[in-house]
């Protein structure tokens, strides 16, 4: 499924939706289905990992509830 992964550089420097204080700083690792990034909040001086999975790589996204949940 790696073909659905966008260029990880697209995400560097962008805010995490819903966590507006966190900015994606660096790529940690890419796998077959997702990218994992390091994000940082200067406001609360904290780091966290952020995993970005393209919708095309989510298992059973057309089911209710989706299998990936």
Tell me how far apart the alpha carbons of residues 53 and 55 are, in angstroms, rounded to a whole number.
6
Predicted local confidence at residue 1, as pLDDT: 52
The residues spanned by each domain of the chain are 2-57
Predicted local confidence at residue 2, as pLDDT: 66
Predicted local confidence at residue 62, as pLDDT: 78
Predicted local confidence at residue 46, as pLDDT: 97
Encode pLDDT of 49-68 as tens digits.
999 999 888 877 777 777 76
Tell me how far apart the alpha carbons of residues 52 and 54 are, in angstroms, rounded to a whole number.
7
* Phi and psi, residue 29, nearest 5°: -165, 150
C-beta of residue 61 within 8 angstroms of C-beta of residue 55: yes
């Amino acid at each position: 499924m790696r073909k659905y992964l966008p260029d990880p550089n697209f995400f560097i420097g962008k805010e995490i939706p819903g966590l507006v204080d966190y900015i994606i700083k660096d790529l940690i690792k890419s796998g077959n289905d997702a990218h994992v990034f390091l994000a940082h909040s200067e406001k609360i001086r904290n780091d966290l990992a952020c995993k970005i999975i393209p919708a095309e790589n989510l298992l059973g996204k057309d089911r209710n509830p989706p299998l990936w949940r």
